[in-house]
Amino acid sequence: MFDVGLTELMVIGVVALIVIGPERLPKVARTAGLLLGRLQRYVGDVKADINREIQLDELKKMQQEVTTQVGSITASVTHEMREIEKAADPLADSSSAAPAATASGPDAVAAPVGGAAQGLAATSPAAETKT
């Protein structure tokens, strides 16, 4: 904090001894030491608080960046899902329409149902010759 060398401390000690006197100097030195200790703790606490605030700001910025990236990825995935669904819808429509088209097409032959097959067999020329 202060750039105080050994010679400066000796000068301060001699002046304090002369001004305060030898009887009160130990008590004043003790009190000054306690005050300097409190001051150092206070400065340390302020530094720690400032560092915590800086880290908190950095974490908030990182959180905003991550939130923005997640939003962008979510939008991208949603867009891609819609594109895939759009591409899959015509395929689903054509696959469900294809069996109906082949069954009802011009070349489709209807299968005889129930007694109709027997009726056809009875009216066929081969059936007439046997009787």
Q: In this predicted structure, which of 4-18, 56-70, 116-130 has the lowest mean pLDDT? A: 116-130
User: Does residue 130 fall inside a structural domain?
Assistant: no
User: Does residue 120 fall inside a structural domain?
Assistant: no
Calpha distance 54→59 (Å, rounded): 9
Query: What letters, b where the CB count within 10 A reaches 16 and e where it falls short, cover 44-67?
Result: eeeeeeeeeeeeeeeeeeeeeeee
User: Does residue 77 fall inside a structural domain?
Assistant: yes
Parent domain of 21:
6-96
Condensed to tens digits (0 to 9), the pLDDT of residues 12-48 reads: 889 988 998 889 989 998 999 999 999 999 999 999 9
Residue 131 has pLDDT above 80, yes or no: no
* Residue 43 structure tokens: 């400065």
pLDDT confidence of residue 37: 96
User: Does residue 78 fall inside a structural domain?
Assistant: yes
- Tally of structural domains, the chain: 1
